Amino acid sequence: MSLDDVRRYLIAYDISDDVRRTNVAKKLESYGDRVQYSVFIVDTCPAKLLRLRTQLIDLIDQGTDSILFCNLGTLRDNQSRTLDVIGRSRTITDHGPAIL
């Protein structure tokens, strides 16, 4: 996996309806990691991001809900930057060997 193709996104949402919010949260959990209640970190290539966006559009009510995508750059850029957390932090699935 080339670090240049994969980009890191911070995705946050503002959704009032419980059902829609749960569905969006579930969808995001299958792509990346929850770092706060409504904030996710998703590492993904462009094709998959497009698919995620399309799926999210189907889940939300575009009149009332909003989902924010913040592009944090490629994984290579992110090697030199850190996500700094005060207090309790949650783990982000990294790109090393996946052994459970």
Partner 1 sequence: MPETLGEGRDLIPISLVAHQAFCPRRAWLEAMGETTDTHQVAVGTEAHAPADDPTGSRSQRYRAVDVISHDLGVIGRCDTVELDESAAMTVVEHKATPVRRRPEVTEPMRVQVALLSGALADMGYPVTGQAIYFINHRTRVDVPLSEEDKAFARETVAATARTLAAEEAPPPLEDDRRCSRCSHITVCLPDERPLAPVTRRIVVADPDTQVLHLTTPGSRAYVTRGRIEVSKSGEKLGTFPIERVQGVVVHGNVDLSSGLIRELLWRSLSVVWCTSTGRVTGWARAAQGPNGGPRLLQHLASHSGRIDLARQFVSAKVANQATLLRRHGDTPLVVARLRELQREALEAPSLADLFGIEGDAAARYFESFLTMLRPRVVAAEELTFSVRTRRPARDPINAALNLCYGLLTADALRAVVACGLDPHAGFLHSSGRNKPALALDLVEEFRAPVADSVVINAFNNGEVRARDFSTVLGSTRIGERARKALIAGYERRVTGTFRHPIFGYDVTWRRAMEIQARLVLGVVDGTQPQYQGIKVR
Q: Report which residue type is found at 34.
A: R
Q: Is 13 helix (H, G, I), strand (E, B) or coil?
A: strand
Which helix (H) or strand (E) segment holds residue 44: the answer is: strand 39-44
Q: Would you say 33 is a known binding-site residue? A: no
Contact flag: residue 46 with partner 1 (CB under 8 A)? yes
Shortest distance (Å) from residue 58 CB to partner 1 = 10
Could you give the angle at the alpha carbon of 14 between the alpha carbons of 12 and 15, nearest 5°?
Answer: 130
Contact flag: residue 31 with partner 1 (CB under 8 A)? yes
Cα(24)–Cα(58) distance, integer angstroms? 10
Shortest distance (Å) from residue 43 CB to partner 1 = 7
User: Residues within the annotated binding site for Mg(2+)?
Assistant: 14
Residues found near partner 1 in the complex (CB under 8 A): 1-2, 5-6, 25-27, 29-33, 43-48, 50-51, 54, 93, 95-100
